[in-house]
Amino acid sequence: MTMTHRFTGRTALVTGAGSGIGRAVALAFAAEGANVVVAGRRREPLDETVALIEEAGGKALAVTADVTSAAGLGSLVTAAVDRFGSLDVAVNNAGVLEGAGQPVADVAEDAWRRMLDINVTGVLLALRAEVRQMRSQPRGGTIVNISSNLGAHGRRPGVTAYAATKAAVSALTRGAALDHIADGVRINSVSPGPVGAPMSLRPGETEAGRAERMRTEAPLGRVSTVEEVAAAVLYLASDDAASAVGTDLVVDGGATA
């Protein structure tokens, strides 16, 4: 694969970077020359992501942070700028899916509040901290939120509460994009469908079982890879997408086409 080094000399921050899409995004930015700050609640998986980046010759910093804490997110942005001098790209990927398979009437209140806190409030607080830094920089910055094809694009029984939080992310993205493009901050989102990560496994399902299910359930016939989602993120964050403002790019193998 030929790398274009679109992000050489830039700093990219990725939340939820200890595994799955977040780790793939962090590795992809590092491969294209970015200094990468990886954030999450648990230190060990973040250190693993940093090790993978450094083994490939990249530069990275791990910072433990809770996206539900405004102070914690402020400290995260400060740590990124202190280490690498700027915050040029941010990817708000941290998110949770609670109570899969439960209809609305059976959703536990604590599960609902946890999804709201992380998936919605966490994105809002992250946007605040990131935009405040980026709009103070001469060249501004770009932000990509990770939403979902469930919510604004499609619905499915048993994940209505989760879909509602992700629909909110899509709305937040578009509104914030309009609020801050004049500040030199360009904001978009990527909405993945099922990917090759544990979150897309149904209770008790194996990866082989998921692959068999997706042969008939997805028009593409398979889940998307985390690398494919990362490629979409990098496109929206790059100068190649300079006129994409408030775009919600669906990467779901045709599931909501």
DSSP, res 112: H
Q: Pick from 204, 194, 201: which is nearest to 226 by CA?
A: 194
Question: DSSP 3-state assignment of 12?
Answer: strand
- For 5, 52, 71, 202, 218, the CA distances from 198, given in Å and listed in that order, are 30, 20, 30, 9, 17
Q: How is the chain split among helix, strand and coil, in percent rounded to 5?
A: 45, 15, 35
One-letter amino acid of 248: D
Q: Are 83 and 137 in contact (CB under 8 A)?
A: no
Residue 99 neighbours by CB under 8 Å, 6+ apart: 106, 107, 108, 111, 112, 161, 162
The dihedral sign for the CA sequence 28, 253, 195, 166: positive
Catalytic positions: 162
* b/e per residue 134-152 (b: at least 16 CB within 10 A): beebeebbbbbbbbbbbbb
Q: Are 161 and 97 in contact (CB under 8 A)?
A: no
- How far is the first Cα of the chain from the last one, in angstroms, to the nearest whole number? 29
